[in-house]
Amino acid sequence: MLIERQVSERLQHRIDKITLDEGVAKAKAALLNDIKRSVYLYRVDCGGCNGCEIEIFSTITPVFDAERFGIKNTPSPRHADIMVYTGAITRLMRMPAIRAYEGAPDPKLVVSFGACGCTGGIFHDNYCVWGGSDKLVPVDVYIPGCPPTPAQTIYGFAIALGLLGQKLKHTEIVEKPGEQVPLRYEAIPYKTRTAIERKARLLSGYCTGRDMADEFMTVLTADGADNLAGVDALIAKQQDPRRREILEDLKSVYISQPAG
């Protein structure tokens, strides 16, 4: 006869969850939005049946080939971008799991893998189990399943990295026969445009100079080919004396250029 007995509350140790400070959280958000390279994942087995590990190994082998998405395995947490926690958090694995998390450089993503990793699974009420990995570390993505299939695994990693969203929103533009890109500032002769851009970049740098040249020529061609009154208004409203000086120099360049 099986008798269920709840373990006394005073005999249970409650672990404190690791929290992220504001700087690390911002860096992680930037990683999610801007990452454009291969990522390395490190797996931490906190106490499971090894079923999840078998599916992970199946995911990284040539059949499913997770490396085609730039997802690679690493033997050290010090090189990891993604920490994959499998199995329920057990008493003996609490400190190794924390050491692995702290060993990975910030910002890092944490994936809770499998039913045990997400909730503790069938071991959730065991005396030596504290639950899923989110009881110990901040989790970004949950991949449920007992165990998750390789397709689910790749999908979860793709969600974590934004790769899936990029593929769904991908658009391919093909130039049609005879199609031409419209020329900017057609009313201004080519040599004059070149002289204005060169002068602006010489005075204020490559990027800022390009922006100022565009602003100048946009105002210049707003109401026709020779809107010097608009240029004068643009110069007059400048608060920065250096910008005002540069725009005046661009006006001088434009006036000095021969017609046509």
Tens-digit pLDDT profile for residues 25-42: 766 665 555 555 677 888
Compute the average pLDDT of residues 110-131: 79
pLDDT at 198: 92
What residues contact 213, with CB distance under 8 A and at least 6 apart? 196, 197, 199, 200, 201, 250
CATH number belonging to the domain at 16-168, selected among 3.40.50.620, 3.40.50.12280, 3.30.70.260, 3.20.20.370: 3.40.50.12280
The token pair that represents 162 in the structure block: 């934004």
DSSP class of residue 224 equals: S
pLDDT of residue 248: 92
Q: What is the pLDDT of residues 41-63, one digit of tens each?
A: 888 888 778 787 888 888 887 78
Using CA atoms, how far apart are residues 8 and 205, in angstroms rounded to an integer?
71
| Distances 17 to 50, 89, 124, 246 between C-alpha atoms, Å | 25, 12, 17, 56
Secondary structure class of 113 (helix, strand, coil): strand
What is the predicted pLDDT for the residue at 116? 79
Q: Cβ distance 152 to 143 under 8 Å?
A: yes
Query: What does the domain layout of the chain look like in residue ranges?
Result: 16-168, 190-256
Q: Is the pLDDT at 169 greater than 70, yes or no?
A: no
Can you name the residues that pair with 90 across neighbouring β-strands? 129
pLDDT in tens, 195-225: 999 999 998 888 888 999 999 999 888 876 5
